Amino acid sequence: MKVTVHHFVASTVTRQYGTHTSDLLGVDYWREVPSDTEFPKTIIRMDLFTRFYLERAKATEFFVKIWWIDHPSGDPELIGSFGPFRVNFQRDQIVRDYSFHLHNVRLQGVGRHMIELQREVNRKWRRNDLATIARTHFMVER
């Protein structure tokens, strides 16, 4: 079984038509907030459009983590953890589009942010380990 990601894009809203066509609305890697914004600031909805390429895949659970890279301490801070999201794959599928819908993402400040898509993998030496299979970034500015 193999699952890889070709596209991983943050958008405001994703609309899917049928199995092969999607509209990604509000794709922007910059989030501008007014200069008087008080943090934490909540983003009500964020979609993560994902195009999977598959090889004999079966239903899989995914997790999304959001990191604030430019935390004042100098160390990235985990600001959001979402999931599990169960995605059903048909064994004969080779491509599948899926959108992860995140609600109430709480931004802690300005600067760079990283979004990771993770899935559970079982390795002989560690059970139930999470492996990052895709990343994207966005910037919050005043």
Structural domains of the chain sorted by starting position, each given as residue range(s) with its CATH number in brackets: 2-141 (2.60.40.2550)
d(CA 137, CA 9): 9
Q: pLDDT at position 91, please?
A: 85
Give the position of tokens 């985990």.
Answer: 78
∠ at Cα 115 (134, 31), nearest 5°?
135
pTM: 0.89
What is the dihedral sign for C-alpha 49, 137, 106, 30? negative
pLDDT band at 48 (very low <50, low <70, confident <90, very high): very high
Separation of alpha carbons 120 and 141, rounded Å: 33
Q: CB–CB of 37/31 below 8 Å?
A: no
Per-residue pLDDT tens over the stretch 97-136: 999 999 999 999 999 999 999 998 876 666 678 999 999 9
